[in-house]
Amino acid sequence: RRGRAWTGLGLLLVGFFWWPAATGVAHAQTANDASDEIVYIDGVGYIRVYDRLHTGGGQIVNWHSEENDWRDFTLGDFNGDGDDEIAAVRTDDGVGRLVIFDPVIASGDVVPGQRVDDIPWKVLCDLVVEGTPDRLAAGEFDAGIPGDELVFGATTTANDQDGFGPYLVSILHRTGGTAQCPWSPMIDRREFGDSWTKIAAANLNHVGVDEVILLDDDESTLAVYTIANGMDDATDRILNAESDSKKWNDIAPGNYQTNLDQLGTVRSAPLGLASMLIMQYRNVDDTWVDTYAQEFVPSPRAIFRADLDGNGDDEAFMLREVPTNINSPRIFMRNPGGSALPPFEQTLDNDNGFRTGAGGDVDGDGKDEIVIIRSLQMRLYLDPDSASDTTRYSYEGFATSTNGRSIQIGDLDKNGYIGRPYLQATPAALNSHLVEGEVGAPLAVAVTQPAGGRELDFTVAVEGEPNWLTVVPATGGTTPLTLTVTLDASLLFPGTYATELVLSTTSQDALVNTTRAAVNLTVTTGIFTTPSNVTVFSACAGDATDITVAVDVLGTTGEAFTAGIEAPNGVAPAWVTSAPETGSIPATLTVTIDPAQRPSSAPQSALLVASAGGDQLRVPIALYCVNAEVWLPVIFAE
C-alpha cells in the first residue's frame, strides 16, 4: 500500500419423487463490504473496532482485543488476502510482544468458539521481540511477498559495540519464522540515539520499495531512510532535518498533489515561517523541495490525510491548540491538490481535547470521511466535502473511552467473513412413490458444510427407526459425505409413511447442532417388474440359439394382469415373444428372443403389462449384435 501512514500510537426412482432445495440457514461467507472500519485503542489499552455499517448487508465488525495495555497498533494486509489486519505491540512483565490479529476471517481454518458476533477471528502471529515496543507501521518493504511488512520501534537497554543509543528499529517480513508466527527480520536491529516518537512508511523516493520515516518530536529530528543497506546513516539516509527553533510535531505521508508519495509535516515555527509543509523528494539531485507551505498561528501539532472527493489526491487535516479566549479553528483542512472543495474549519471544544484523527471511507461511498477523538469522545464527520455548511460540519458523536491518540481507518472485512458452520443436506427432502412390495433404487443425500472453514463431524439417525428405510453409512462421518438412502415397500401396505434423517454435530462453533432432512414415502397398489428392462447380446454371425429372460411381475398380491409384446400398427415383431398372456401377481413371464429373426436395424421392442386396476407398465427390450466376446480376469484384493 503506497503512501500509507497513520498518526498516533497507534438418482432416479421407479415412480416419482421431487427434491426441494438444500436444508440449512443462509450463513455462508457473507458478501463483501465496501465500507471501512474505525480502529482505536480505548482508555485502558484495549483495541476496539467501530463499524458503522456493512454495505453487503452482513454483520458489522465489533471485534475487540482480549487483552489490554496495547501501546500502539497499525493496519495493513499482513496475510496477503487483500483486506486489512491489525498488528499491535505491548509488554508483558518486561517481555515485548508483537501480535498480528485477523479480526475477520474470510477463508481457511476457523478457531472453534472464537467469534465476536458470529464473525471469526484469530491470531496470525504472536512474536516475542526485544525491548519495550511502542511504535509500529505497515509498509511495502519486500516486493516479493504479497501484502505489507512491518517496521516497529522499541526502547532497549542493550547497546552495540559502537555505543549507539537505546532505541531499536526493526523490519519484519512474512517469510521464515515458525508455524506459530511465519515472520522473520529483514532488518533485525538498528539502534538509534533518538527515541523516535512517530514511525511511518511510504515510497518517498519513488523507486522500489518504501522508505522508513522517523520523527522524534522531543528532539525535533525528522529522518527518512531507505532500507537497502540496513538503514545505514551514510548510504540510506535521504533526509535528516533537525531544528531547535522549528520543532517537528507530526508527519502524514500521502498523495497530496501528484500520484507520487509526498511527506506532509507540521511543525512549531516562528512567525513568518511555514508551519505546514508538503515535502517531495527529487531523485535527480537527491534534494527535497517544499511543494506546498502554509503558515498557521498557532502552529498545528497533528496532521492526518483524507481524500474527501475521491479523486485520488489527499487533503491535509490539522489539529492545534488554541487559547480559550481566541475564536479560531482547532481543526482545519488544506487542499494542496487544488480540487474544488469547500473549506473545512471548526473551533471544536475550547479545552483542546481533540488531539488526533484519521480519514477513511466509513460509509462505502467512494469518498473519505474523517474522525477525530479525545479521551471520552469520538466525532465522525460523514460529509466533510458538502457545499452546505450545516451538512459539512454535522457529525455523529459517540461517548466512548479512547486513549486520545491511537486511531486508524481501514477495510477489515473487504473479503467478507466465514459464517458459523452448519450441516446442509441436499436434497432437503425425499418424496417418493413406490408400488406395494417394491424396493426403490438407492438415493443420494449429500451432507456438506457450506459456510467455509473447518468441516464438521456428524452423526446420522433415522427418526423412529422405521424398517422401511436404510441409510449408509449408518453412523455418519465428516463433511462432505454422501449418504445412500434406500426405501423398501416390500413389507408395507398402501398408504403414506414419513420420517426424518437427523444429522447432528457436537461442534461448539456450529450455528445449529442439528439439521433434518424429511423422507416422505407414498405406497400404492399396482404392479412393477424385475427387471425393469431387458437387454440381451448375441453374436452377429453363427450361433442363433434362442435367448430367454425371466421377468417377475410384482405388486398387489392377487391382482390380475395381461401381458404381451408391443405391436406397432397391430403387427408384433417376429424376433421376440412373451408368455403367458395373463396371470395374477406374483407371476413370472418368459421373454424369448430369436436372434435368427433379428432385423437389419438395431431391434428394439417392449413388453406391455396391464393390471386389472388400470396400471400399465412398458418394459423396454433391446437386442444387440456383437462380433466377439472378451473374458476378463477378476482380481480380488485382500
Instruction: Write out pLDDT tens, residues 114-156.
Output: 999 889 999 999 999 999 999 999 999 999 999 999 999 999 8
- Does the predicted model carry a pTM greater than 0.85? no
Using one digit for the tens of pLDDT, what is the confidence trace for 300-339? 999 999 999 999 999 999 999 999 999 999 999 999 998 8
User: Residue ranges per domain, the chain?
Assistant: 32-410, 424-524, 529-626
One fold for 32-410 and 424-524: no
- Cell numbers representing residue 638 in the block: 485382500
**Structure confidence at residue 34 (pLDDT):** 86
Using one digit for the tens of pLDDT, what is the confidence trace for 575-626? 999 999 999 999 999 999 998 888 877 689 999 999 988 888 899 999 988 8
Our measurement of the distance from residue 24's CA atom to the centroid of its chain's CA atoms, rounded to an integer in Å, reads 20
| Single-letter amino acid, residue 434 | L
By C-alpha distance, which of 224, 169, 229 is closest to 193? 169
Determine the Cα angle at 584 with ends 580 and 588, to 5°. Answer: 50
**Structure confidence at residue 600 (pLDDT):** 76
**Structure confidence at residue 8 (pLDDT):** 36
- Cell numbers representing residue 231 in the block: 538503514
- Cell numbers representing residue 560 in the block: 390380475
**Among the four given CATH numbers 3.30.70.3270, 2.60.40.10, 3.40.50.620, 2.40.50.180, the one describing domain 529-626:** 2.60.40.10
**Residues 471, 484 contacting (CB under 8 angstroms):** yes
- 3-state secondary structure labels for all residues of 567-631: CHHHCCCCCEEEECCEEECCEEEEEEECHHHCCCCCCEEEEEEEECCCCEEEEEEEEEEECCCCC
CATH homologous superfamily for the domain 32-410: YVTN repeat-like/Quinoprotein amine dehydrogenase (2.130.10.10)
**Among the four given CATH numbers 2.60.40.10, 3.40.50.720, 2.40.30.10, 3.30.1520.10, the one describing domain 424-524:** 2.60.40.10
Average pLDDT per run of 10 along the chain, which is 638 residues long? 37 32 41 87 98 83 97 97 97 96 91 88 96 96 97 80 72 91 94 94 96 96 97 96 93 93 96 96 91 97 97 97 95 94 96 97 96 97 97 96 97 91 96 92 96 90 97 96 97 95 93 95 91 88 84 92 92 92 95 88 88 90 80 62
